Structures are given as C-alpha cells and as structure tokens.
Amino acid sequence: MREDLMKAAVLTGPRQIEIKQIPVTPVGPGMMEIKVSACGVCGSDVHMWTAGRGWGKQENCGFVMGHEFCGVVTNPGDSSFKPGDRVTFWANLYCGKCDQCMAGREHLCREVNGTNYIGFVCNGAYAERFVGKASNAYLLPDSVSDVAAGLIDPLMVAYHAIHRSKIRLHDKVLVVGSGIIGQMLGELARKAGASCVAMSSISEVKTRKAREIGIFDEYFDGSDPGIAERLKAASQGGFDIAFEAAGAASALNTCVNAVCPGGKVVMIGNSITPEVSFAMNRAVLQEVSLLGSVSCSRVEFEETIDLIAKGMIHPEKYVTDILPLEELQHAFERQIDPRDPMLKTVIKP
Ligand SMILES: [Zn+2]
Ligand SMILES: [Zn+2]
C-alpha cells in the first residue's frame, strides 16, 4: 500500500521551518482525521520555534506545531462525528481521571503541567491534515468562521482570566501588555461591566493597533518612568483589577503599584525567566491579591466557542495577517520583530 502523504510545516531546528511531505498518522481507536482549514499562530509557538523543538519526545522526521485550529472531518474513525462536520480541537491533553479533572479544572490536570498540549508534545495542525483524539474535538456552529476558530485559544485564556478576576460592575480595569490576549481582555472586561479599561504597553505599534480597534479608554506608555503616578492619577486612586499580560517583572510591578488598596492582580503572562522580583511590601501592606491564570476549563472552552457563535465578540478584527503554510517561517520572523505591526496571524494550509 502506498503511504498517505501530506504537506506540513516541519520544525527542523532552531528558527527553522521547512515545508515537507510527511506521512499522515493512521487513524487508530478513539482518533479522527480532519482536513485543516485554519490554524492560529501563538506566542508559545514562537518559543518552540526559537528552541527548535517541542516539549515531547520528538520523532526523527521533525515536529509539527499548531494548536489553535479547526477543520473538516475527513475520517471520523469510531467517533460520532460525520465526514464533512466542521470541528475545532481543544489542545489540552487532560487525563480526565485526576482530582483536578474530576473537579472540572482540566486546565490544572496533574498530567498537563502547562505543556501537555496538541502541537507541544505531539504533532499539531500546521499541515494539510491533522489526526487526534476525537474526545478533544468540538462541533463548530456555522456562525463561527474558520478564521474566528483560529482565535478561540487566546480568547479562552482571556475569558478564564476574566472569571478569575471576579470583576464586578463599574470596576476600573488596567491591562498591562498589548498582545492578542491583552487586547481581548480589554474587550471582555468592558463586556463584563468595567467602567473604564486602560492599556499600558511598551509596544508603540501594538498600541496603535489597539487604538484602531478602539476598545480601551486610555493608553499609557509602559516605558515612561512616571508611569506609576500617571496610572494613579488616571484611575483616581488605583484600579480595582490589573491584568498582567506581558510576562515581565516590570509589567508585574506596574500592576502591583497601579491597583487600589485591596485590589487584584491577575497574572496571565508567561515569564521567560522562572523567577522575577516584585514589590512584595506593596502587595502585603495594601493587601493586593495576586492570582495566577492559565488556559481555561473544558466548560469554559465550550463557552468560548459560544461567545463567538452568539456574536458577543468578533475576534476577526484582531487578525492582521492570513497566510499560507509556506509563509509560516516568515510569520515567526516577523513575530519576534518588535517593529512589526503583526498582532495575530492565521495560517490557512
Ligand atoms: Zn496558543
Ligand atoms: Zn487530569
């Protein structure tokens, strides 16, 4: 029998993507195959691209990233899906058996540890086809476009962080960071009842994009040495909630200093260094709550699809580039260029 081949963007070394023909994984028990329609480019892909490897035991032919995707079922295997169904996959490879999974916190699954995702430990969807666990697939309503489905991943992260913050009507909200999650946080905070949403960012091009989209009330230059005073004045005594969406010590300190006494800081950004220094006494003496937030639960993943399906958010407006698979290498090169206005790229294989 001739081997079934497909075009894929293979990570073959540090900062090196090659377009290759690779074998399609056979559909085993509990698995299904889709033809990939769209796949979002994520910041965590950039980390793996830079390192030249994923988080799992990689096969010899290289590794295929891509965890924010949707497609059309070509082989449903033994699942209840039908050929032609439009589906998206939740990338989280949770065990479904541990205490966290049993409590509905699949994102904190003992087996996941922040890396056990599709496109991290096993091949993802920067390819013509994807074969994966059918139990991770969800039907896409017609009102969710392929491009919008490529943005479910950052949206679910923002959605979960909003839940973590327990935001209340009229709260004043600061977002530090201007990547895709930071931008979406502003929109969701506004929808959840914030009386004002401000953005602090060190990226001029991304702030410009945020101004264009027009969600935030105010924009601050995070590299301004007088940022703390400016934020305090603008919020008349401090923000109720600050979201750290940059993953940097300076951004965390901006948040800790910008909230009001008793305020909350929700940390979403992943720091490159495992430890950072921060204004501990400020957090202690002002009773600032520090909350970590990662990914989302399985229920929240389904609700995120529904947010888009019901028209509560139109994520397409955050997409700056829609590119073919052949452009993936270039997209990563642009992603690490701080002058590039790229906010979110969706690949259409
Ligand atoms: Zn992602
Ligand atoms: Zn588990």
**Structural domain boundaries in the chain:** 5-151+319-347, 155-292
φ and ψ at residue 304, rounded to 5 degrees: -65, -40
Distance 260 CA to ligand 1 centre (A): 31
CA of 198 to the centre of ligand 1 (A): 24
CA atoms of 33 and 27, how far apart (whole Å): 7
Q: How far is the CA of 64 from the centre of ligand 1 (A)?
A: 14
Ligand 2 centroid – CA 95 distance (Å): 4
CA distance 111 to 219: 40
**Ligand 2 centre from 98 Cα, in Å?**
4
Residue 196 CA to ligand 2 centre (angstroms): 38
239-244 vs 31-40, strand pairing mode: unpaired
CA 118–ligand 2 middle distance (angstroms): 15
Cα of 46 vs centre of ligand 1, distance in Å, is 10
Measured distance CA(71)–CA(87) in Å, rounded: 6
Q: What is the pLDDT of residue 1?
A: 55
| 235 Cα to the center of ligand 1, angstroms | 32
> What pLDDT is recorded for position 114?
82
Please, are residues 305 and 143 in contact by the beta-carbon 8 Å criterion?
Answer: no
- Closest by Cα among 44, 54, 129 to 87: 129
**Tell me, which fold does domain 155-292 have in CATH?**
Rossmann fold (3.40.50)
How remote is the CA of residue 300 from the centroid of ligand 2, in Å? Answer: 16
CA of 21 to the centre of ligand 2 (A): 35
pLDDT in tens, the chain (349 residues): 567 999 999 999 999 999 999 999 999 999 999 999 999 999 999 999 999 999 987 655 589 999 999 999 999 999 999 999 999 999 999 999 999 999 999 999 999 988 899 999 999 999 999 999 999 999 999 999 999 999 999 999 999 999 999 999 999 999 999 999 999 999 999 999 999 999 999 999 999 999 999 999 999 999 999 999 999 999 999 999 999 999 999 999 999 999 999 999 999 998 888 899 999 999 999 999 999 999 999 999 999 999 999 999 999 999 999 999 999 999 999 999 999 999 999 999 9
User: At which residue do the structure tokens 């889709």 appear?
Assistant: 34
The CB density around residue 267, as the number of other CB atoms within 10 Å, is 22
Q: What ranges in 214-336 are assigned the alpha helix state H?
A: 227-234, 249-258, 280-285, 298-309, 328-335
> Ligand 2 center to residue 75 CA distance, Å?
27
Q: How far is CA 149 from CA 17, 67, 85, 268, 312, in A?
A: 24, 11, 14, 21, 14
Global confidence as pTM = 0.96
Q: Are 117 and 5 in contact (CB under 8 A)?
A: no
Task: State in Å: Cα 338 to ligand 1 middle.
Answer: 19
Strand pairing partners for 16? Answer: 13
CATH for 5-151+319-347?
3.90.180.10
Distance from the alpha carbon of residue 278 to the mean position of ligand 1, in angstroms: 27
Q: From the CA of 102, how far away is ligand 2's center (Å)?
A: 7
Query: Cα of 103 to ligand 2 centre, how many Å?
Result: 9
State the ligand closest to the CA atom of 94.
2
Position 60 scores a pLDDT of 52
* Ligand 1 midpoint to CA 2 (Å): 35
Give the pLDDT of residue 272: 84
